[in-house]
Amino acid sequence: MTAVIEERTFVPAHEHEQEISSLLDFMVKHLMGQGRTLRYALVGASEADRIELPREVHEALVQVVAAMQAGKAVTIAPRSMTLTSQQAADLLGVSRPTVIKLIERGELPAERVGSRHRLKLDHVLAYQEARKIRQYDAIAATSVDIDPDEDPEVLRDRLKRARSEVAARRRARS
């Protein structure tokens, strides 16, 4: 039997809340191997009807169960290892012209196939992770510890300086 590979959304059923919660507890508990090599398997009707799962498949299942336990729908969307610029844009949550600009600036590697760009999925995911790290760093760089006893005028001046520093860094990059 060949499985049809298509995008599909699964919605958690309320009558299975307890089962999903118990399943998540079990999976999380056993995700921590305490130095042992853990093995994951699907078991059929008989004990002999068993197949081992790769760790990546188990980790994906943990994510699915965690989302469903939180009451969220889960969409499984198979991805090709090579993406169009539109698929990369959808994955990154930006417009296609933004992806083209990232390619032209050399921030996102791509190859030309005729007049089209093709991007490798791992490059897009690496860019996404790097962007997330840059965003967290920017938040940390612009954060100011606030003392509730601090004079409001002094605090306002500190915040104003922090905004000015961020603006100066942004102008320097342009």
48 domain residue, yes or no:
yes
CB atoms within 10 A of CB 27: 19
Confidence of residue 92 (pLDDT cuts 50, 70, 90): very high
pLDDT at 1 exceeding the cut of 60: no
- C-alpha–C-alpha distance, residues 157 and 154, integer Å: 5
Lowest mean pLDDT among 3-7, 55-59, 95-99, 157-161: 3-7
> Nearest Cα to 66, choosing from 26, 38, 8, 32?
26
Per-residue pLDDT at 80 exceeds 90: no
Residue in this structure with the two tokens 């996404």, named with its chain if needed: 128
pLDDT reported for residue 36: 63
Residue whose entry in the numeric block shows the structure tokens 């919605």 = 11
Number of separate domains in the chain: 2
Residue 81: half-sphere exposure toward Cβ, Cα within 13 Å: 0
- pLDDT reported for residue 100: 96
pTM, entire model = 0.53
**Strand 82-84 with 116-120, pairing:** antiparallel
**Angle, helices 121-142/85-92, rounded to nearest 10 degrees:** 30
Confidence (pLDDT) at 83 = 92
1 within domain boundaries: no
Q: How sure is the predictor about 34, in pLDDT bands with cuts at 50, 70 and 90? A: low
Residue 173 one-letter amino acid: R
Higher pLDDT: 60 or 39? It is 60
Q: Do 64 and 104 fall into the same domain? A: no
**Of 76, 108, 134, which closes a domain?**
76
Residues 163 and 87 reside in one and the same domain: yes
Q: 54: which residues sit within 8 A by CB, 6+ positions away?
A: 40
Domain range spanning residue 34? 8-76
Together in a domain, 26 and 86: no
* Judgement on whether residues 123 and 168 belong to the same structural domain of the protein: yes
What integer pLDDT is reported at residue 94 of this predicted model?
Answer: 96
Q: Is residue 3 part of a domain?
A: no
CB distance 71 to 12 below 8 Å: yes
Provide mean pLDDT across the span 70-76.
88
Closest CA to 166 of 142, 143, 145, 144: 142
